[in-house]
Amino acid sequence: MATRNVAAVDLGASSGRVLLARFDGRQVSLEEVHRFPNRPVVLQGHRFWNILALWDETLTGLRKARYVAGTLESIGVDTWAIDYGLVDARGFLLGQPFQYRDHRTDGMMEQVFARVPRDVLYQRTGIQFLPFNTLFQLYAQEQMQPGELAHAYRLLLIPDLLHSWLCGSQTSERTNATTTQCWDPVAGAWATDLLEQLAIPTSMLPPVVEAGTVLGEVVPEWRDDLGAARVVAPATHDTGSAIAAAPAGLSGGWGYISSGTWSLVGVELPRPIMTAEALAANFTNEGGVFGTTRLLKNVMGLWLLQECQRRWAQEGHVTDYDTLLADVDAVPPFAALIDPDDARFLAPDNMPEAINVYLTEHGQAQLSAPAAFARCVMESLVLRYREVFRQIRALTGTAITTVHVLGGGARNTRLNQWLADALDVPVI
């Protein structure tokens, strides 16, 4: 058979890449043809995604993929969850998409709970309460810019927005829609009544499609660059795609960590768990491919170390990642530990300083050497992962016998070996 060529756009919170996948009838080969940074823009005290730069880099990567392959059969985009763009009926943006770490959502959860109780929200959506969830972003936007949402024709999550620019489709893929805390996983529909209780317009909510749906062909504007490739919705939440690719069956006993800027720690189940115990432990039930549920918890992840490196670079001390990880062996174990999910670490101006303030408040010595910060972050993450897997066992009754690590963090061999030691199970 003729080789089939597919381009995959994978955008993460700190970088993006375009891959060319080729299938010759026997095996799939993958080639990264383009990689680029993803940096938010700060303007008037708010954080935005530079969505036009991401679009430009996406097109650059897709052009490269077509040049290498000759022709592309299909294109699909996945990104992080939660964030969105508002568009009019022609697909034009109504303002720049906010970044989820923007402080406009500060205090919004409490305001929402005053109108819709926390337990009611969980019983309907089954989603972990995080201040940047789409629901709280929408509520914050309505408070900050009254009437803005009513002018939108469609709310499109970031991968859906890019798909719309590629082929004109204005839909949302289900695995990502479930992350918004605006979706009822039992009814399989948007929880419009909850949004209406919060005075959030619902006419902007798009139709929802399953992963694998053909959204359309590349629009004429980009045909000379990309050909007439079909645009196909993958699991547009990057974690949904990652878990679908894990080399494991649907039977229990295995867990996963989608390890990157965030660490999503969980298991795949046939149905959601939305019990009082799951609410108390603040677990999330996100949609998986083929109708599964990804029961998981969001842990702060390697963002902690990335932000330390960014701060050191600003101060003129550039730290090579591989060298930094090698240097942790010289640091005494468990000399300093933090709670990675402490709210102060969500979006600090100075991550090393925030870590040291935490250590001081908890009776621990402050750190100075980059390797000491790295060891502190990594050991703290391992202990947090172990605690989350213990909670999962309590909720599901199933012991974890294998953990699959996916994403950029899979290359951090020290972190993964420490995790295997802490759990006493194979980490793959």
28's CB contacts (< 8 A; 6+ apart) are 21, 22
Which of the following is catalytic: 56, 119, 238, 349? 238
Are the CB atoms for 359 and 367 separated by under 8 Å? yes
Q: Tell me how far CA of residue 393 lies from CA of 1, 131, 214, 389, 424, in angstroms.
A: 46, 26, 38, 6, 15
CA atoms within 13 A on the CB side of 272: 26
**Residue 238 annotated as catalytic:** yes
Nearest to 209 by CA among 272, 244, 163, 165: 163
Structure-derived torsion over alpha carbons of residues 224, 229, 230, 233, reported in degrees to the nearest 10: -90
**Residue the block writes with tokens 């867990």:** 255
Write the single-letter amino acid at 315. Answer: E
Residues acting as catalytic residues: 238
